[in-house]
Structure 1
Amino acid sequence: MVRLLKTPKMNHGGNSTTMEDLDDYMLTQILLRLPNCETVLVCSAVNKRWCSLISDPNFQVHFADHKNKTTAFLNDVPQWSLIATIKIVVATMKSWEQPFITEFLFGSPKLSLEFLPGNSIKTMATFKDLVLCSSKTTDQSGRRVYYITNPLTKQWVALPPRPYQWPRIQSTALICQPPYNHTQDYKFRVVEVLDPHMDTFDLFVYCSEIGEWKEIKLRVPSEEFRQLDTTVVCNGIIYFKSGLSLVGLDPFDVDDTCDTTLEARVMPPLPNFGHLQESSGQILVVHTPGRQQGIPCLYKKDGSAIELEMVVSKLDPNQVPLVWETTFQGQCKGTWNSIELPYITKLGYIYATNIWVQPYNDKLIYIYLAHENQLVLCNTGTGGITPSKSLPHNKKLIFHSLEQQWWPTLVPSLVQRVTLEQNMHVATTTVEV
């Protein structure tokens, strides 16, 4: 494609015409048909005219719309990646340091977070193609600064630090409100979930409209919520799981006028003790029956033959009435002749520590076997299990999904914007792709 664009002349009925002879409309139509946003961004460096057309926000909207229309019948979706955050503890003369290493898996080998400032960068959450990271401040407070970044464009923005150092954090979420893919001035929330009490969760929420953190109590059914198991974001709502109980919260209900205590949305109980996930705008629970509730459990029959019992159920939050539907119940099987699986219990079980569902296809389920350093793919459509990727030996890997968009999402604008030199609390920078 690039070679074609550099061709100086094209013959049309004996007339000699260059690309620059085309009007803006025709040139835009050609650029809209490029295969992906990476190619478009490369073409923006051809000359000022091309850069001006591509930089127009309307072009970005038309590019995404064109891709959605022309690729729907091909079942084509943007690339996605898993981000594995590895915690490494290093003993020093004075203290224990805890650096974090982030590795991008699947289809995104060129992405990294090395352009972010600070040290000990940790991936906290993702939303589509945006990543929420944190790093320690340079002062003595021990607080961490949050960064919202797009690894593809290398744009990043730093949020104001927390007002004070908080207790142990259970989970973190990033939620952006449409049209986040068309503008930089969209609303967003960063939600921190602390240890639950008898009938409430303590939440700290960063509200983009006011540029401040707010402390909120979320009231939940006390007889059902013993502790927080998992949180997941689906269609702009953050859901909290405890055992078989599930509640939700619209984080945009948190603003400068809301009460300090909010009521959670009570959802239908989960059908089993599974792992909560989101895929294609629906909530999924993946259950792998075993000796321990909710923990995936492979069984090695003989040689390298592997079996996995699995039950997958899903819930459409927009459906009325809200009903869990079982989409798969059975076994996934595989034979690994080239992979040694040394960690086998006396009963022949291989335990797994993480599970993740492909964001565009709920039939593709990835499971991490910590003791075997292996990420495996279970396809509930075919019933097969295949090895996917070998990972560093670490039982405490944390996975996040990165969903590339047809056009990269811009990092959000903040209420107050100052330079990094003026204040480490808020900063924005961009590096060309």
Structure 2
Amino acid sequence: MAWPIPMDLDSTVDTHRVGNRLIQAYAGTLHSVRLKRPSSMLMNNNIDHLPESLLVEILCRLPCFKSVSQCKLVSKRWCTLLSDSRFIRHFLCVQRNRNQKPMGTTISMNGEEFLNRVSPSSRPLAQLFKRLVSIHGLKQEPIVVGTYNDLVLCCASMHFQRDYYICNPHTVQWVPLPPPPHVYKYVTVGFTCDLPYYNYREDDQQGAIVQLNVEYKYRVVRLIDPTGGYDDDDDDDDTISCEIKAQIFFSETGEWRQFVLSSPSAIAVGDLCMESSGVASNRMLYWLHGKGEFLIGLDPFMIEKSDNTSSAATAGRTDYKCFFSECGEWDSVPMNCLVTLDGCPRMCEYYSPTRTLSIWEVNEAKEEDQMAMIRGGAGNVCVKPYKSIYLGDEEMVVISRGIDHIRSVVFDPDNEGLLYLLINNTRELIKIDVIRCNIRTGEMSKVATSQTINCLHLYPFVLPWWPTPLRQLPQRGQPSPNLPT
């Protein structure tokens, strides 16, 4: 059952008015709380006289975190209570029991929302961008270069990236990162955490238990074009190498460190850095080569500090074997894009001669898996066919025969059976047609024509039941505290 919030709070609300309205709204629920004299407590008509256990039972039924954050303004007692980890766990248990999935969407590099679900406007990051520009004196709005659940990695520029910010748009908070040791024109960036802020585990005695991961860690990974990216017009100068230089930021130390990633086959590193973007899945980061010819995977939490690892001021190196697989190992056609659905990476490719969209899943490998094993420094992953969709039904509005490439694929986060194809039907690269496809029934329809959509890179973005608190970077070896939410 959904519990309506009985008031519209602001900073001027007093405890007694809010308390009275809360008691009236939730009086019917108090029978579930084991109190000796609940009726006499209600007759007091003053929420300040309620015991803490009853107050928690009432407040944890607020519909969302926004309502909770507004209630923190009521009084110091409420603020302390609603910030306590015990209340957060109780609140999350109530949310889970409602069997409602956290809201999700997809955002572009410009912070524009592809599916308008999180915000009434198409720019849920607008307030955050405005404050970043104002406080840090940026010349223009930052861009999105990575996401993990509700955390967003922003950068002040597209090229020569230097200034990064770990942000939570829901709380409009951010932590600026120190600059990387060297700046390059082209880099491809990945951002991931070792754990979500909260998750659930089942207990035989207590049922679902909420676990808060307040000490979560995150990594920012920059893969570098060794040429510096200055030879834009000469494709022959692209470096072909079995080694990829990487700069990795460690949240627990607040430092950038430099590594060398090795792969079993030589790759065009410049193409990777110019056209690819890191996709986070669990602890892993994946990159699809710009031309869709191979997949790279990396677990940045497997890279431990060692004597050979270089800090920002040192020129050492540490080799690490990353996952690598040529797409030809499981399909003869290069992939068009790499996306995620519920944290699972999926590769998509459109084969124009047969007008077929093929979708492949990337999972951690099990012993019985035989399909396209990808081996690397942290174990194996497996690529499996997920779905093949024929897009050539002449009775429907589908992709014309002149189209041989799909710009991107967006899975509906609230309906796994729906996906959206972004294609160019004109010579203008930013003019996009959007086709909605039901992969269960095969029904298709064009939902947008010649829309201006920046679909160079699209990122999943989640509105969880409780926002991830940002961790301040450590100062001189001190632990990383969390920012208040």
TM bracket (short chain): 0.7 to 0.9
Structure 1: which amino acid aligns with 2:5? V
- Aligned pair 1:3/2:62, yes or no? no
- 1:379-430 Cα distance to aligned partner (Å, 9 max, x none): 212322345567852566432221121100112221229xxxxxxxxxx988
Native 8 Å contact 1:185 1:413 kept in 2: no
- 1:68-103 Cα distance to aligned partner (Å, 9 max, x none): 3x144xxx3111122123xxxxxxxxxxxxxxx432
Matched residue, 1:162: 180
Within 5 Å, give how 1:294-305 maps onto structure 2. Answer: none
Structure 2: which amino acid aligns with 1:213? W
CA distance in 1, matches of 2:156, 2:394: 41
Determine which of 218, 227, 240 is the counterpart of 2:287. 240
CA distance in 2, matches of 1:35, 1:270: 46
Q: Secondary structure at the match of 1:2?
A: coil
Of residues 203-212 and 5-14 in structure 1, the stretch that sits farther from structure 2 once superposed is: 5-14
- Aligned pair 1:416/2:482, yes or no? no
- Aligned pair 1:45/2:73, yes or no? yes
Q: Secondary structure at the match of 1:251?
A: coil
Matched residue, 1:265: 323
- Aligned pair 1:81/2:105, yes or no? yes
Structure that is richer in strand per residue: 1
- Aligned pair 1:107/2:134, yes or no? no
Distance 1:34 1:376, change over 3 A: farther
CA distance in 1, matches of 2:256, 2:165: 15
Matched residue, 1:378: 437
Native 8 Å contact 2:359 2:386 kept in 1: yes
CA distance in 2, matches of 1:36, 1:320: 42
Matched residue, 1:354: 408
- 1:150-195 Cα distance to aligned partner (Å, 9 max, x none): 01100100000122222421x2111112253435543111011123
Matched residue, 2:388: 329
Of residues 49-58 and 104-113 in structure 1, the stretch that sits farther from structure 2 once superposed is: 104-113
Determine which of 279, 300, 317 is the counterpart of 1:251. 300
- Count of residues paired in the alignment: 377
Distance 1:348 1:413, change over 3 A: same
CA distance in 1, matches of 2:445, 2:77: 48
Determine which of 217, 222, 244 is the counterpart of 2:265. 222
Native 8 Å contact 2:191 2:278 kept in 1: no
Structure 1 gap ranges (5+): 86-100, 292-296, 298-307, 418-427
Q: Secondary structure at the match of 1:253?
A: coil
- Aligned pair 1:173/2:182, yes or no? no
What is the aligned-residue RMSD (CA, Å)? 3.6
Q: Secondary structure at the match of 2:301?
A: helix
- Aligned pair 1:35/2:63, yes or no? yes
Structure 2 gap ranges (5+): 8-17, 28-37, 199-211, 226-238, 310-316, 372-382, 477-481
Structure 2: which amino acid aligns with 1:248? G
Determine which of 229, 232, 245 is the counterpart of 1:202. 245
CA distance in 2, matches of 1:83, 1:29: 36
Q: Secondary structure at the match of 1:325?
A: strand
Determine which of 91, 96, 120 is the counterpart of 1:63. 91
TM-score (norm 2): 0.67
CA distance in 1, matches of 2:149, 2:454: 26
Higher RCO (Cα < 8 Å, 6 or more apart): 1
CA distance in 2, matches of 1:51, 1:390: 48
- Aligned pair 1:281/2:343, yes or no? yes
Matched residue, 1:94: none
Native 8 Å contact 2:108 2:455 kept in 1: no
Structure 1: which amino acid aligns with 2:318? T
Structure that is richer in helix per residue: 2
Structure 2: which amino acid aligns with 1:237? M
Distance 1:327 1:429, change over 3 A: closer
Distance 1:311 1:168, change over 3 A: same
Structure 1: which amino acid aligns with 2:164? Y
Percentage of identical aligned residues = 25
Q: Secondary structure at the match of 1:49?
A: helix
Matched residue, 1:119: 139
- Aligned pair 1:153/2:176, yes or no? no
Native 8 Å contact 1:209 1:415 kept in 2: yes
Structure 2: which amino acid aligns with 1:206? F
- 1:33-67 Cα distance to aligned partner (Å, 9 max, x none): 22221222222222222221111133223323432
TM-score (norm 1): 0.75
Shift of 1:125: 0.9
